[in-house]
Structure 1
């Protein structure tokens, strides 16, 4: 035991670990896979690493994982339909940073632009527009969580001649709705918004849709200028992280040479987590494309099972066709706490992740039925 760590301190850590472990076994309401084994990488935690600067500008020092970061970015970019000659990216602290980076690129391209995002967009989008001090308009969402294209057109027409920056949701926080990206471009064209930039917030579904048949258009091939994807959701990385992808021309506009780092300043943060690319690279190599397809199918099968069981329990469950999020009537508070359910007004949801089981769904459905009010 370290010299200044008391027995009480050690016991506190043991208690914390036990509490967190038990809580993780019932984590159904949030999209974080808890079943991935990263133990072969634990030895690296004894090292000091720092991915300072642009991952595509090699530095002379050896305490970074830029090489692995480039491979991670390249693989994510392929799955996001990016042309290899026109894409850049880096591993972020999470999709909040990815959304901020995408909107920063948009602001530098169109300083007089107006940001349009739906009422169901992630809260980080509103925070990003405040940090960047750009004008923004909140567009109505439909009842299923998708962007209301008619209202988008109304808002864009109120700002004639101004560039339009649209945040398209690729899996909203609560309902996992995927905005109609071709429809967005049609609206912008009809409104005469020829100066436009579309950022796709694919934190939730960016590592699900590439492996599902008949997925709706959502990526660079569909016209996106930048995309943010999470790494701690489908990949189960044990700490928040993600990947920010963008067309190279947009990034070239913001890069600044920094002599101290011998690199370009193209990211939001300076010093960056070098362990995140390592963990993401390991997950990509361990699973392979077929492993991702298997996990995606398993998630949707579990989501279908949850819809069936929760509906039978009287909870009116539903999901979008390509979503692993199941929305249902909010149950009693005791059930919400037990299963760490995400809630919004009269609704709750679970996210069917690779670690989820039918036994968990059966128990949840039993709790829902037992706690429902009589009559």
Structure 2
């Protein structure tokens, strides 16, 4: 290859700083150099460095690492991760984990839950039996009809995600797009592959936009929603408004369309402004796709799902989008009695990455008199909730990202292709799915009762209150506005961004927000169950330092 001749021959590589080209094993003696490409520049200078782990020590030369080099590299990485785990405070994940003693055996086993979780398939190295138990647990927790029954459209259907809620958002919006676009439902499929791509017929009097869904989500929505609508080619209200109705922004005619639905100061979606935007597009016949946050990423805010559902349903009913026929072909007389089904012209998806795992237990604690309040209802008690996702690594705690997606059986879309090879329909997004996630979540739920979970929820709720109060005290002590804030019932407390060394030590998440026309650099702390008051006090001690906050 051309770049090989141009590559420097003396780039130091690996723990011994040997030139990369001289670190091959005896394979080079068989037929010259292996067919691989050398580095063109020194990778150590090309990447952001982690001071605690010198990159040279973990680089992988063609000869591999000998036992001494491996032990040194692994010890450096272990020390770094253990230190960061001890002080980890800025993200909504639980790092207090204890699976090794019970489940270490399975790290030498292959577990792949490929395909539908309710079909065991010919791929027998799976944990689907545990996955179904976990899914039933969450169906009960989220007040869905369970167990799953493929013949009951009101029963739940779901699966465990290989990614976190980003995958759940992607899959939920994919289903929403196809549902609102009039694609064939799974329950109406005859097994012919082409059916999943059928275009519906526009009924008499239906808008020319009847199968062009428009997405709405708030300014505090996780960035995965932006990726999802782009990947799925779903039009947002901003895009449609800007390209088709540039001077008709209903929030302020003549002003630019906002990129997202405005949020309140606490980070929840502004229901009144959402109503104005939804009405504009519903009046023109566009189907409505709304994604809501239940524990927004930075502020930890809970959208009022019940109020949004009531508002969207009412507006859609005004314009005939609450129930509408979706036709496949006309009747014999050319009229509207042909092949069709009836469905709503709106879809509500709930991104409950943290909140859907935490708040059901806080609600139990409230009902038991342990706390005064709990966030608003978000789950399948609301008939207008179409899909819901949650991350398993956030509240419950797993060593890797995973999660749960759930909808109703009657809302499933036709899979794009049958999967005879695995002996089960692949109704999921990922294909091969991590079977260890089902094992870990099953293990956690088996060892923690509702009482245990409610107690943990109360402890974290009270810890968030403690953090908020101590930061307000610090603000008074320093005589300086630290912008301390906590959204109602949130586990997140946000404040002015401190020195980068403090941000790094405690892994504090950063975000810049505009307040009263001024940019404010914030960080936040999440009161997850691994965080202790002692660690909070350590942070407060560091925040009292003379250089903690830049002027």
TM-score by length of 2: 0.65
Is contact 1:202–1:227 with CA below 8 Å preserved after alignment? yes
Is contact 2:114–2:426 with CA below 8 Å preserved after alignment? no
Is contact 2:267–2:487 with CA below 8 Å preserved after alignment? no
Equivalenced residue count is 373
In structure 2, what is the Cα distance between the partners aligned to 1:169 and 1:49? 32
**Counterpart in the other structure of 1:307:** 468
Matched, 1:59 2:121: yes
Q: Which whole-Å deviations, capped at 9, do the CAs of 1:109-149 have from their partners, x for residues lacking one?
A: 01221111111111101100011101113211122111112
Alignment of 1:1-375 (within 5 A): 5-6=65-66, 7-39=68-100, 40-84=102-146, 86-92=155-161, 93-111=163-181, 112-137=212-237, 138-159=260-281, 160-192=284-316, 193-194=321-322, 195-212=345-362, 213=366, 214-222=374-382, 223-254=384-415, 256-314=417-475, 315-345=482-512, 346-370=521-545, 371-373=547-549
* Greater RCO, CA 8 A, separation 6+: 1
Superposition RMSD in Å: 1.8
Is contact 1:50–1:271 with CA below 8 Å preserved after alignment? yes
CA 1:60–1:190: 2 relative to 1, 3 Å? closer
Is contact 1:145–1:175 with CA below 8 Å preserved after alignment? yes
In structure 2, what is the Cα distance between the partners aligned to 1:338 and 1:373? 15
Query: 1:316 Cα deviation (Å)?
Result: 4.4
Is contact 2:499–2:550 with CA below 8 Å preserved after alignment? no
Query: 1:10 Cα deviation (Å)?
Result: 2.8
In structure 1, what is the Cα distance between the partners aligned to 2:508 and 2:117? 37
Is contact 1:108–1:253 with CA below 8 Å preserved after alignment? no
Is contact 1:119–1:141 with CA below 8 Å preserved after alignment? yes
* 1:20 match: secondary structure: helix
Is contact 1:308–1:317 with CA below 8 Å preserved after alignment? no
Is contact 2:510–2:524 with CA below 8 Å preserved after alignment? yes
* 1:367 match: secondary structure: helix
Is contact 1:36–1:235 with CA below 8 Å preserved after alignment? no
In structure 1, what is the Cα distance between the partners aligned to 2:416 and 2:135? 18
In structure 1, what is the Cα distance between the partners aligned to 2:491 and 2:543? 20
Query: 1:190 Cα deviation (Å)?
Result: 4.2
Structure 1 residue runs of 5 or longer lacking an equivalent are none
Query: 1:253 Cα deviation (Å)?
Result: 3.7
Q: Which whole-Å deviations, capped at 9, do the CAs of 1:164-208 have from their partners, x for residues lacking one?
A: 110010010000111111221233234335221100000011111
Is contact 2:392–2:401 with CA below 8 Å preserved after alignment? yes
Q: Which whole-Å deviations, capped at 9, do the CAs of 1:9-53 have from their partners, x for residues lacking one?
A: 331122111111111111100112111211111110101121110
In structure 1, what is the Cα distance between the partners aligned to 2:143 and 2:494? 29
Q: Which whole-Å deviations, capped at 9, do the CAs of 1:326-373 have from their partners, x for residues lacking one?
A: 122222222211111011112211110111100011111121122455
Is contact 2:178–2:413 with CA below 8 Å preserved after alignment? no
Is contact 1:50–1:274 with CA below 8 Å preserved after alignment? yes
CA 1:185–1:374: 2 relative to 1, 3 Å? closer
Query: 1:100 Cα deviation (Å)?
Result: 0.5
Structure 2 residue runs of 5 or longer lacking an equivalent are 1-62, 147-153, 182-211, 238-259, 323-344, 367-373, 476-481, 513-520
Is contact 1:313–1:366 with CA below 8 Å preserved after alignment? no
In structure 1, what is the Cα distance between the partners aligned to 2:416 and 2:448? 34
Q: Which whole-Å deviations, capped at 9, do the CAs of 1:238-297 have from their partners, x for residues lacking one?
A: 011001111111225447531111111211111110101000100010112111111111
In structure 2, what is the Cα distance between the partners aligned to 1:327 and 1:98? 27
Is contact 1:30–1:350 with CA below 8 Å preserved after alignment? yes
* 1:206 match: secondary structure: helix
In structure 2, what is the Cα distance between the partners aligned to 1:287 and 1:118? 34
In structure 2, what is the Cα distance between the partners aligned to 1:109 and 1:153? 22
